[in-house]
Structure 1
């Protein structure tokens, strides 16, 4: 079996992928694989791990078998290879029997460079018989941490891989790849795959273009909306723990007028695939999902990741956060933490079918994640040290490093809360404690004679919601410990006792959104007009309805429910009741106009601009130059020029691109289009020969 060297690999890097230099770690991994050395590559998300097995596949004889758990993405990966002119395929459960047999025949004929399969495929007799007839040069194991019981995403099906390798007469070169591996996981993988310690390539875990932000004990819905308003037009993922929370967030954010979709394991495969494609193709900018979404998603322009609830492990958190900024652009990763998240994760662990030993391990991993949420050290350095990178410097841009959070002393307020918890002998939860302190007339308080407590009504200037958020903050800062039960009660820690004794002060950090949200003048003026109208009706000065400051906050936050309006400074209960709905109606009208006049990129349709390079491409093409010539002139890739020309075709500035597509392909595309139409490309692609690319479809239909 002939394998070439790094010189040929560098040539492929430039000619096929269009890159002049390898990224950190790529050259070493590729060199080892080409020399026939089994290798474990630990490289962060977005570092180009896939090239580490794709390039050896293109400079080696024989097949490269790629084992991956990502069945839903295999087709997209193969389509991406086809765009590069690389012969690849996938064999999985989505194929018909006829399609599978056809691909197995092509496999035996040596048609493919790369073949993607799930680990479960190694148990299929027909497939295993086919493998015995071909020359396997390399085996790439993607998401290799799934092989380790110490990993955060252990999958028993992965244990088939070392068993299968041990049965082979001639062992192919093995490359295991992962973005997250603690020392325990790394050693486990080495042992299972028999990889020498000197063949482990780890480039570290640092992502210089990511800034990490941690929000503790804050009003999540309010902060989330502020963040999304700030990130208008950006693509991002919001992770939630449960399917119910995902669907609730989806409905909320959809009503706010954002371009959003959602994904979780309870949806049908068809809907999951449709929603995933809408996000990947930028038809929808925001994806709300459980952790069932995202592993291996190769979307380069994700600019923010928000964890709305606490992930179970640091590995899962950093892997999911790492899906931002794959294009190298500055991106933000935001984590909301509230103590009830711990109970949710504990419940999910307890309800799982894992062994008791595995559950204890999961509890330990969860506690490490909670500890991360309480650190005052650099957030990125904390994670890097967790993965074993000891010689690290502070990132300088997480909110712990910047320390921009305003601190307000809350010692007296905290003492009132702690005193109330102590007086009820730690028998009640957050809601009852808040009701006692604000002086609620709730019947349950009278039932337990709690209205007779000295702390009853002690914080009547607060709302129950405000006080609940403050109690969450005190819990997050470990002054209060909720019990692990279905109806958790609040217990005081030693830190709280010290505060009650006057030995320690409490400061609440008011977390700031990093950049100011621009006030929308159109909205502000509409709100001012409504204020004047209401003031005239009441015969009062406009500022007595709401101040300018309050209207400016409304124009930033766009509150469209009474609960959201109540969060605006200057909107009390009476004014909410008297004026709230009138202003909400104004904001709803604005949202409706905005949705109808804005495209999915958040830009007005009449503001789309044709770039200079696009115009140059169209002009050169009209002058008779080829795509290759235009790309060379502009120092752009041929794929970029193709996109310019497709746009020109769509805009009517170019008549036809069919000459770049083989006649038989043109004919087949037109036949399929006559049946399925041109509204979406995927149904067309699914009916065509697998060698026909999306670009070729666009060239023919002009879309």
Structure 2
């Protein structure tokens, strides 16, 4: 039967093999054994019950608290030919009756319902008449009061299971669960000696970063502008902050939407749909947004404020990179975030015992924001996963190889200015004083007469701003919120002024996410968008970004070749295959790209160059030459431009022939220089390079041969 599951995996979902943990979970169901599955967000939990649903008799009942996820998954399943439906509060009573009747007749393989439905005796009685072969409990952590999203309705699930004429196999699934929550899930759902399928919590494609001491909105604005065209989510703690960030980005001309609980249901649905269908790039939202949003191509998640606990943070951050592509999760921290979350806990209508737990979880979140060791290790160990490696190589701590900069003198100047201005002004005025501004307000308040006026005139304003933010974040200054923000001194600022403490800082830089600068990839995205609009399905359900990137890389020239692309199952080949192949073939013809078989190693960028005009080629050569004159190595230039080293050598040599200054030694492999020279001498008069090339090792390229010819005056 497992062999049949592999065939179905390829046929419906386009995958050649199961991902880690999926096969074990499927096996458990096929052997009629309960399963408890813990996989990270984007790890492929849904396939663990969707594949068995195709081979078992009866219907698979999926209990999910997320209305949006129900619709997403049902749309996705129906789009590949797997009959499925959902029942939730968005349907009328007539629609519910019709769907239940069709389910009774066996017309669906999967039926999605919310846990609240199980509180209705009438609804449950109608399900009891069906052949339920399996129950999948998604977001199973909701059953535990110690989980981060406890829902009382989950406690109804065991009673419902016990009422069924024949107990089905039960599978519980979650992405986040501490040891205590794991035990609760098994006990409260009544799992019978379940198969434990725990693949770990790690998402290696996600880069985690904590950024302290920056002006948050400036950081976000800069990051978004440097990552135009990439889909992202920006979370804020309050509606006010959400609206403020939304207005900031909208003013910048960014395709942005806003989502919070204060909006009307219709407005939230409209903006959520716009994000899902790629009509906007960025969603600015409170934590009211995202539960069950299966949008796979989110390239970054930025938290403008620190979340209340690690479970919430990891779940929200995990909405990035669900397609497996590299993505970033950035948390912008400031001390005020802690007070905001404490306020939320204090105001919550929960037992005191629960509040005490929430305070403990909040403290662990604060620890994460200040930890000086690997961020990934901190997260994984929080969830009980043992981690031996001290350096993950993919978080802001492990990747931060900058030297600490002593900013004590600069800090003393700023603190001194606050003191001499008698702690009466905000950051903007203080920076104006330090810069020696001619601002009218400076003269009105006689701030041009204090000793710190113009003391940092030669320093960059952004640099002063950055240090000031760090001083506030680390408690060397505090900000009041009376009528307007005012900078005040603290005991720590006195210690700095008295030289009792040194201050060091690593200047934070916004790192641009590497976008696919590929014309064909963008054409494929446009085609996907057209199909999406016509069939009424989100683009990521049509084809994932990772699938489009593989198409752009491998240039499949037939529908048969498309079947070898990950994520292109038979149904999708039938539906979209010809359109995709036509686009690829037209693109290749337009760019003068020959069949992929002529060179398995030629990159798309190199192929594109074959169809360029002479002027375009020279322009391309000059880009390479400029990088060369900046001191970059050939390897670094190749990585920067997406070219092979041989092509980079060729570009540079073309610039040499145009009369530009080049060190020929850079183009000659030192271990082969004498050999190349001797072979050239053997040929005497050099008319053609091919015989020389054939007499040399494969590692020696034509560019190296030509460089030796010029160096030793054999050319010309």
TM-score by length of 2: 0.67
Q: Offset at 1:16?
A: 2.1
What residue in structure 1 maps to residue 576 of structure 2? 643
What residue in structure 2 maps to residue 246 of structure 1? 242
What residue in structure 1 maps to residue 105 of structure 2? 109
* 1:437/1:58 CA distance change after superposition, 3 Å: same
Does structure 1 residue 396 correspond to structure 2 residue 393? Answer: yes
Alignment check: 8 A CA contact 1:631 1:641 kept: no
Structural RMSD (CA): 4.4
For 1:356 and 1:464, the matched residues in 2 are separated by: 47
What residue in structure 2 maps to residue 89 of structure 1? 85
- SS of the equivalent of 1:399 reads coil
Name which of 17, 26, 32 aligns with 2:13. 17
Taking the TM superposition and a 5 Å limit, the aligned residue runs for 1:654-693 are: none
Does structure 1 residue 509 correspond to structure 2 residue 442? Answer: no
Taking the TM superposition and a 5 Å limit, the aligned residue runs for 1:171-210 are: 171-195=167-191, 199-210=195-206
For 2:464 and 2:350, the matched residues in 1 are separated by: 38
Name which of 305, 310, 321 aligns with 2:306. 310
Alignment check: 8 A CA contact 2:13 2:569 kept: no
* CA deviation map 1:184-236 (0-9, x unaligned): 22122122123367632211111111112221110122221221122122111
* CA deviation map 1:472-531 (0-9, x unaligned): 42343455688999999999888767646645311122112234999xxxxxxxxxxxxx
* 1:469/1:60 CA distance change after superposition, 3 Å: same
Name which of 237, 247, 250 aligns with 2:233. 237
Name which of 140, 143, 147 aligns with 2:136. 140
* 1:482/1:633 CA distance change after superposition, 3 Å: closer
For 1:517 and 1:63, the matched residues in 2 are separated by: 44
Alignment check: 8 A CA contact 1:434 1:468 kept: no
What residue in structure 2 maps to residue 473 of structure 1? 470
Q: How many residues align?
A: 556
* Greater radius of gyration (CA): 2
For 1:485 and 1:196, the matched residues in 2 are separated by: 59
Q: Offset at 1:12?
A: 2.0
* 1:482/1:637 CA distance change after superposition, 3 Å: same
- SS of the equivalent of 1:94 reads coil
Alignment check: 8 A CA contact 2:137 2:172 kept: yes
For 1:191 and 1:202, the matched residues in 2 are separated by: 17
For 2:494 and 2:200, the matched residues in 1 are separated by: 42
Taking the TM superposition and a 5 Å limit, the aligned residue runs for 1:439-450 are: none
For 1:293 and 1:253, the matched residues in 2 are separated by: 18
What residue in structure 1 maps to residue 282 of structure 2? 286
Does structure 1 residue 61 correspond to structure 2 residue 57? Answer: yes
For 2:225 and 2:87, the matched residues in 1 are separated by: 43
* CA deviation map 1:73-95 (0-9, x unaligned): 32222111111211111111111
For 2:361 and 2:106, the matched residues in 1 are separated by: 45
- SS of the equivalent of 1:140 reads strand
What residue in structure 2 maps to residue 333 of structure 1? 329
* 1:197/1:313 CA distance change after superposition, 3 Å: farther
For 2:316 and 2:271, the matched residues in 1 are separated by: 18
What residue in structure 2 maps to residue 217 of structure 1? 213
Does structure 1 residue 412 correspond to structure 2 residue 409? Answer: yes
Q: Offset at 1:100?
A: 0.9
What residue in structure 1 maps to residue 704 of structure 2? none
Alignment check: 8 A CA contact 2:413 2:452 kept: no
Name which of 367, 381, 386 aligns with 2:382. 386
Name which of 20, 29, 37 aligns with 2:33. 37
191-200 or 9-18: bigger deviation:
191-200
* 1:124/1:633 CA distance change after superposition, 3 Å: closer
What residue in structure 2 maps to residue 589 of structure 1? none
What residue in structure 2 maps to residue 157 of structure 1? 153
For 2:353 and 2:233, the matched residues in 1 are separated by: 33
Q: Offset at 1:167?
A: 4.1
Alignment check: 8 A CA contact 1:241 1:290 kept: yes
For 1:85 and 1:189, the matched residues in 2 are separated by: 33
- SS of the equivalent of 2:94 reads helix
TM-score by length of 1: 0.68
* 1:430/1:33 CA distance change after superposition, 3 Å: farther
Does structure 1 residue 8 correspond to structure 2 residue 1? Answer: no
Alignment check: 8 A CA contact 1:434 1:467 kept: no
- SS of the equivalent of 1:377 reads coil
For 1:226 and 1:163, the matched residues in 2 are separated by: 53
